[in-house]
Amino acid sequence: MHWGMAIDLKLCIGCNTCVSLCKMRNGTPQGVFWNRVLEEEVGTFPAARRIFWPVRCMHCENPACVEVCPTGASYQRADNLVVVDGEKCVGCRACILACPYDVRSLWEGEGNYFPDGLTPFEEQAYKRHPAGTVLKCDFCASRLDEGLKPSCAEGCLTGAIVFGDLDDPQSEVSLALAESRVRLRLREELGTNPSIYYLT
Amino acid sequence: MPYSTIRRNEFIMRAKLQKDWIEGKGLWLLAAIYFGGVGGGLFIASVLVNWRLGLLIAVGITAILKGSAHLMFLTHPWKFWRIFRRPQTSWVSRGIYFVFFFIIFGLAYYFMGGVPLQVLSVFFAFCLVIYTGFVLLASRPISFWNNPLLPILFVSVSIASGISLAEIIHTFSPQDIGNPELLKAAGPWGVSITALLLFVYLAGNFYSSVTAKESLTYLLKGPLALLFYGGVVFLGLLLPLVIFILVHFAMVPSSALAIAGISELIGAFILRYSILKVGMSAPVA
C-alpha cells in the first residue's frame, strides 16, 4: 500500500475548493493551511498565463522532515503516510525548515477567525490540534481508515485531484499516471521522492 | 470578519524567507546558537592557553545560557528529553548529546584534569561548536545554509569569540593564564581566518543557486546590508584587526584588546543573526 495523488494542472482552475474543504473537515486553526493553491504567472503579455499548483504534504518516500525530527514525532506509516504525533512534538521547527514544500506550520495555540472568540465549531475542531505542535496534511488519515478519500480529492470540482494506491496498477491514480502525459514531481532533485504527481 | 487576518499574496509561488528560527521565539534559538559557540570556543581557547577558570566559565555559559535559551525556544520545554531519541538521523538530537557530554567531560576535566579527559572534553567542545552548522546544513531547501563551509565558519567564529571573551575577562580582571602571549597572538588569527572563511562562504553562495544568490543579495544589498557591513564587517572583523595591529606596534595600550574582544563578540552575534535571517527556501516549483 502506497497512498499517492495525481493532480492534473490542466484541470485545476484555482477555485480553492480543496483549501476550503480541508479547513472545514480538519478544522485547522487560523493561519494554518494544510493545503494551498499556489499561483504562478508564466510568460509575458500577450502570452502570459497563470498556473495553479495545489500543494500539500507530498508524503515523500524519503521524507526530510522525518530525518531531521529529533523526537520521532514525525514518522512514516507502513502505508507511506507521513504523520505527526503531537504528543512527541516539542516544537523545535526543524521539520518546517527541512520540508522543501513549505507545508508544515507550528500552531502556537492562539488565534481565532472571528473577533468574538472561538466559534462552537472552532472550539470542537481545535481540540484535535495540540497547541505548540507542528501541524500538516495527513491525507485525511481518519477518512482513509473509513475507506473514504481525502476531502480535497473528494470535493475537487473539476476532478483535477485523483487519489489512490500507487502500488495497485488498477487504482484510479495509477491509471491516471499511466496516461501518456508529461508528469512531474516537485523538487525531485532533493531526493525526497514525493507521492504527489502533477500532470501537465 | 477581521480582514487583518487575510494576508495578500500569501499563496504566490516564490522564494520565501524563513521566519521560524529568527522571529518571535526563534530569537531564543539564535541566542542558543551564539552561547553554544562562545562556550565551546572559550573552552578550546582556555585549553590552548592553559586557563583553568576559563574551562568552568565555558561550561557555565553552555549549561546555563545555551541550555535555558534552548528551553525557552521550545514550545514544550518539559518534553525536551525526547530530543535524545533520534541521534541516528537528526542533528538536533546529536546536538543535545554533544551539549550533554561537553558539560560532563568539561566539568570532569576541570576538577580532575588528565590527558584523556582533556582530549574528550576538547572533542565535545569541537562538536558543540560545529553541530549548529550541520543543523542548518540539514535544511536542504535553504540553499544559503546548505553549504559545507557553514559548519567550518561556525567553528572559526566560535573559537575567535572564545579568544575574545578570554581577552576581555583577562583585561578587566587579570587571570592566572598559563600562556598569555599565545592568547594575545591567537586573537588576530581567529579574526583573520573567520574573515577569510566568511568571504569564501559568501562567494560560494554567489555561484551556488538562484535562491542562494537571492539570499546573498538580501544580505549584501538588501534590508540587511547596513547591519551586515556595520555589524559583521566593521565591528566583527575590521575594528578588532585594527586594534590588534595597533596593540602589536604598541600604539595603544594592551587593554584595548578588551574593546577588540567586545567588538568581535557583537560582530559574531550579528553574523549568526544575519545568516539565520537571510535563509530563504526556493519556490516549490
Predicted ipTM of the assembly: 0.91
Q: What is the DSSP letter of A58?
A: -
Which of A90, A100, A131 minimises the CB distance to B83? A90
State the nearest Cα–Cα gap between B268 and chain A, in angstroms. 23
pLDDT at B69 over 50: yes
pLDDT of A110: 85
CATH of the domain at A164: 3.30.70.20
Distance from CA of A116 to the nearest CA of B (A): 10
Which of B73, B78, B139 to mutate to test binding with chain A, by most A CBs within 10 Å of its CB?
B139
Confidence class of residue B175 from pLDDT cuts 50, 70 and 90?
confident
In single-letter form, the type of residue at position A7 comes to I
Q: For residue B2, which residues of chain A lie inside 8 Å, CB to CB?
A: 113-115
The answer, as to whether pTM is greater than 0.90, is yes
How far out from the chain centre does Cα B148 lie? 15
- Looking at chain B, the whole-number percentage of residues with pLDDT higher than 90 is 87
Higher pLDDT: B5 or B85? It is B85
Please report, rounded to a whole number, the percentage of residues in chain B having pLDDT higher than 70.
96
| Grid cell locating A18 | 480543496
Q: What is the pLDDT of residues A18-60, one digit of tens each?
A: 999 999 999 999 889 999 999 998 999 999 999 999 999 999 9
- Tell me whether A36 touches chain B (CB under 8 Å): yes
Rounded Cα gap, residues A63 and A100, in angstroms: 10
Q: In A45-188, at which residue ranges do the beta strands (DSSP E only) sit? A: 49-56, 74-76, 82-84, 105-107, 133-135, 161-165, 183-184
Per-residue confidence at B3, pLDDT binned at 50, 70, 90? very low
Encode burial over B44-60: b for 16+ CB neighbours within 10 A, e otherwise.
bbbbbbebeebbbbbbb
Tell if the CB–CB gap between A68 and B89 is shorter than 8 Å.
yes
Cβ-defined contact of B92 to A40 (cutoff 8 Å): no
DSSP assigned state of A161: E
Q: Which residues of A touch B10 (CB under 8 A)?
A: 36
**Among the partner residues A39, A72, A187, nearest to B12 by beta-carbon distance:** A39
Give the model's pLDDT for residue B5: 52
Partnered with residue B12 across adjacent β-strands are A39
Decide the pairing of beta strands A74-76 and A82-84: antiparallel
Nearest residue in chain A measured CA to CA from B9:
A39
Q: Is the Cβ pair A90, B82 closer than 8 Å?
A: yes
Q: What integer pLDDT is reported at residue B12 of this predicted model?
A: 82
pLDDT value for B250:
85
How far apart (Å, rounded) are the C-alpha atoms in residues B48 and B43?
9
Q: How far is A23 from chain B (nearest CA, A)?
A: 15
Of A30, A96, A132, the CB nearest to B20: A96
Per-residue pLDDT, A116? 86
B205-215 tens-digit pLDDT: 999 999 999 99
Number of C-beta neighbours around residue B135 at 10 A: 25
Average pLDDT over chain B, rounded to an integer: 94
User: pLDDT per residue over A60-110, tens digit each?
Assistant: 999 999 999 999 999 999 999 999 999 999 999 999 999 999 999 999 988
pLDDT at position A36 is 93
Q: What are the pLDDT digits (tens) for A95-149?
A: 999 999 999 999 998 888 888 888 999 999 999 999 999 999 999 999 999 999 9
How many structural domains comprise chain A?
Answer: 1
Q: What is the predicted pLDDT for the residue at B6?
A: 52
Position of cell 572534553? B121
Question: For residue B43, what is its C-alpha cell?
Answer: 573552552
Q: How many CB pairs under 8 A join A and B?
A: 127
Binary contact (A69, B13; C-beta < 8 A): no
DSSP annotation of A188: G
pLDDT tens-digit readout, B133-143: 999 999 999 99
Taking the Cβ of residue A86 and every Cβ of chain B, the question of whether any pair is shorter than 8 Å is answered with: no
Q: Flag whether pLDDT at A184 surpasses 90.
A: yes
Closest by Cβ to A186, choosing from B11, B16, B285: B285
Per-residue confidence (pLDDT) for residue A112, from 0 to 100: 81
Spatial contact of A17 and A181, defined as CB atoms under 8 Å apart: no
A30 with B5: Cβ contact below 8 A = yes
Q: Which residues constitute the domain of residue A42?
A: 3-199
Residue type, A34: W
pLDDT of B1 over the 50 cut: no
Average pLDDT over residues B232-255: 94
The closest alpha carbon to B191, from B263, B278, B270, belongs to B263
Helix ranges (DSSP H) in chain A: 17-26, 64-68, 94-98, 120-126, 141-145, 151-155, 172-178
Residue of B nearest to A38 (CA): B11
User: What's chain B's Rg over C-alpha atoms?
Assistant: 20
Per-residue pLDDT at B4 exceeds 80 = no
Give the residue from B11, B22, B146 with the most A CB atoms within 10 Å of its CB, the best one to mutate: B11
Can you tell me the mean pLDDT for B263-274? 98
Q: What is the pLDDT of residues B131-171, one digit of tens each?
A: 999 999 999 999 999 999 999 999 999 999 999 999 999 99
Are the C-beta atoms of A94 and A70 separated by less than 8 Å? Answer: yes
Q: What is the DSSP string of chain B?
A: --GGGSPTTTTB-S-EE--TTTSTTHHHHHHHHHHHHHHHHHHHHHHHHT-HHHHHHHHHIIIIIIHHHHHHHSSSGGGGGGGGG-TTT-HHHHHHHHHHHHHHHHHHHHHH--HHHHHHHHHHHHHHHHHHHHHHHT-TTBTTT--THHHHHHHHHHHHHHHHHHHHHHHHS----S-HHHHHHHHHHHHHHHHHHHHHHHHHHHTT-HHHHHHHHHHHTSTTHHHIIIIIIIIIIIHHHHHHHHHHTTSS-TTHHHHHHHHHHHHHHHHHHHHHHT-EEPP--
Do the Cβ atoms of A90 and B135 come within 8 Å? Answer: no
Helix or strand or coil: residue A37? strand
What fold is seen in the domain B17-281? Formate dehydrogenase/DMSO reductase fold (1.20.1630)
Compute the average pLDDT of residues B220-225. 96
Cα distance between residue B53 and residue B62, in whole Å: 14
Q: Does A1 touch chain B (CB under 8 A)?
A: no
What's the pLDDT band for B7 if we cut at 50, 70, 90? low
